[in-house]
Amino acid sequence: MKIAAVRLFVDDVAAARSFYADLLGFQPVSLEAAVLVFDAGPLLIVEQADAEARAEGLVGRFAGVSFGVADIEALHTRLKASGCTIVGPPERQSWGGTLMHVKDPGGNVVSFVQD
């Protein structure tokens, strides 16, 4: 088995599209008004939150997903310059990699890792 998709909920799909497609450069598979699908290894599905998703606390949470990057310092600089909320700047981990945590436009915390 392998991970097929990661699903995130947001209140502003247009802002999420700008973040994931334009700023991060994820390749779109499908860009609909309420659901965005990107090729991010497994699929990344970004979905317009409805009342049920909000009631269940699915918007603005720690996503528990890490995206691999080649140059985390360059990404940090680009995200910071764009006004993105950096929750945890790049930090070397005991296992040897470097992690960074940021908030997407929906307040979901996503992580980036460089080996």
pLDDT (tens digit per residue) in 58-74:
999 999 999 999 999 99
List of E strands, the chain: 5-10, 27-31, 35-39, 43-48, 62-68, 86-92, 98-103, 109-114
pLDDT (tens digit per residue) in 80-96:
999 999 999 999 999 99
Domains in the chain, please, with CATH?
A: 5-114 (3.10.180.10)
pLDDT at 30: 97
Integer Cα distance of 108 and 111 in angstroms: 10
Query: What average pLDDT score do residues 11-39 get?
Result: 97
Q: Is 61 exposed, middle or buried (0-12, 13-18, 19+ CB in 10 A)?
A: middle
Q: Is 33 exposed, middle or buried (0-12, 13-18, 19+ CB in 10 A)?
A: exposed
pLDDT at 91: 98
